[in-house]
Amino acid sequence: MKKLVFNFLFSSLFCFVITAQINKLQQTIVVDYNIVLNDTTDVESSQYAFKYQLNSDGIKSFQNLQSYIDTTLYDKEGFPHEFDSTPINKLNYFKDLSQNKVIYGSAYNFRMSGKITDSLKFDFIKGKAIKTILGFQCKQLIVSFRGRDYEVFYATALSEYQDGPWKFANAPGLILEVKSFDNSVTMVANCIQYSQDIDIKPVPKNWDKRLALSYKEFVKKRSSWRDNVKAKIRAEDPMSDISIPYRNFEIYHPYYVDNDR
Amino acid sequence: MKKKVLILIALFGSMSYLISAQSISNLISDRHKCCSASFETTDSDGLPSRYRVYQCREDLGNSPTSSEDAKADACEAAKSMAAILQAGM
């Protein structure tokens, strides 16, 4: 009889653990981020203002560029760059957290986008600040990444989702806010939901037609294209030039590539 | 010897970068004779890129409007080059 009760209790406990694990695996966290890049240190800086939605199960994730944000950003010369909130819905930043890698798309010349693979390596340093974002207590981290220094806040209670906006990941919990110390970059979560029904989408099949590049190869290819376009414009007329942004979230400059910051 | 060559290459690389990084600033330092025109592209991932073509013209005349004429020429040339580049994409 005792054996029967023991078996029943053990089976129940086993089922409960398995069910909990399945639920945990199925639970996808959906986070909306407002992301702004407004670097005014150089005329050759990219400017973005958009809404990305992260869908993450804690192992794999993807992000959806939902739309731009209705706003106008001004570059170093004071020229306006207007953004409107027409829906876009383009998937990007496909992360595999178990393998520490992200596959994403970005243009390496005027027209062509590559299929770029990068690692998710961030050398976070613990900070002292604590703040509440969307009801979650968040701890501060400091990180230097490819030319910019950032303050990052992650939710300690969301340790199952070591994910975040753009390439950011691998903090001890879900990253809800990223700000560069030069105020050029801000990535702020404004909504968190859970869903059982969202499948984590893989890299689109049609991306197989794109040129596959590592991050280093991408920067090399883009820099070489940029140099060529500038050389051609100047050769045509020495009193001319063209601005082709080399400052994105990452700064595409050989120094930063060589030092792998 | 190999080290010296590497140092020279690194120095040359840094100088070329500084020259290329400063050229736009140098070019537009005299706003009276320079002008720019921009064009935008959106890549397959929905990300916009803004490019700006800068053109300057020498102020050759002695007339009171020669500087304005040079600027008008520069603006025309910048617009034209931006249009050509955009059309070529």
Hey, of A35, A44, A209, A239, which one would you mutate to test binding to chain B, going by the most B CBs within 10 A of its CB? A239
Cβ A102 vs Cβ A87: under 8 Å: no
Those residues with Cβ within 8 angstroms of residue A256's Cβ, 6 or more apart along the chain or in another chain: A146, A147, A250
Q: H helices within chain B, ranges in order?
A: 2-27, 66-87
Cβ A60 vs Cβ A26: under 8 Å: no
Under an 8 Å CB criterion, which residues of A touch B?
A: 42-44, 46-48, 65, 68, 75, 77, 79, 81, 83, 88, 90, 92, 104-107, 110-111, 113, 227, 230, 233-234, 237, 239-245, 253-254
Instruction: Provide the residue type at A226 as one letter.
Output: R
Residues spanned by the domain of A128:
9-258
In A, minimum Cα distance to B58 occurs at A239
What DSSP string runs through A224-239? HHHHHHHHHHHHH-TT
Identify which of B28, B38, B89 has the shortest CB distance to residue A111: B89
Distance CA A150, CA A125 (A): 10
Distance CA A174, CA A97 (A): 12
Contact (CB<8Å) B43/A107: yes
Under an 8 Å CB criterion, which residues of B touch A?
A: 13, 17, 20-21, 23-25, 27-28, 36, 38, 41, 43-58, 74, 77-78, 81, 85, 89
Cβ A217 vs Cβ B54: under 8 Å: no
Supply the pTM of this predicted model: 0.83
- CB contacts of A90 in chain B (<8 Å) are 44-46
Contact (CB<8Å) A237/B77: yes
Which pLDDT score is estimated for B88?
A: 77
Contact (CB<8Å) A65/B89: no
When divided into structural domains, chain A yields a total of 1
Q: Directed axis angle between helix A215-236 and helix B2-27, to 10°?
A: 60
Residue labelled with tokens 């009889």: A1
Identify which of B13, B44, B51 has the shortest CB distance to residue A242: B51
Mean pLDDT of the region A2-11:
53
CB atoms within 10 A of CB A197: 6
Which pLDDT score is estimated for A23?
A: 46
pLDDT tens for A192-238 read 999 998 999 999 999 999 999 999 999 999 999 999 999 999 998 88
Contact (CB<8Å) B54/A77: no
Flag whether A3 is in a domain: no
Flag whether A65 is in a domain: yes
Q: Which two tokens stand for residue B78?
A: 């910048």
Flag whether A59 is in a domain: yes
pLDDT tens for B28-72 read 666 568 899 999 999 999 999 999 999 998 877 777 777 788 888
pLDDT tens for A46-72 read 999 999 999 999 999 999 999 999 999
Contact (CB<8Å) B41/A110: yes
pLDDT tens for A90-149 read 999 999 999 999 999 999 999 899 999 999 999 999 999 999 999 999 999 999 999 999
Which pLDDT score is estimated for B32?
A: 63
Identify which of A48, A111, A233 has the shortest CB distance to residue B47: A48
Domain boundaries defined on chain B:
32-89
Flag whether A1 is in a domain: no
Distance from CA of A240 to the nearest CA of B (A): 4
Q: What are phi and psi of B65, to 5 degrees?
A: -100, 5
Give CA separation, B39 vs A7, A47, A81, B43, B52, in Å: 73, 14, 11, 13, 6
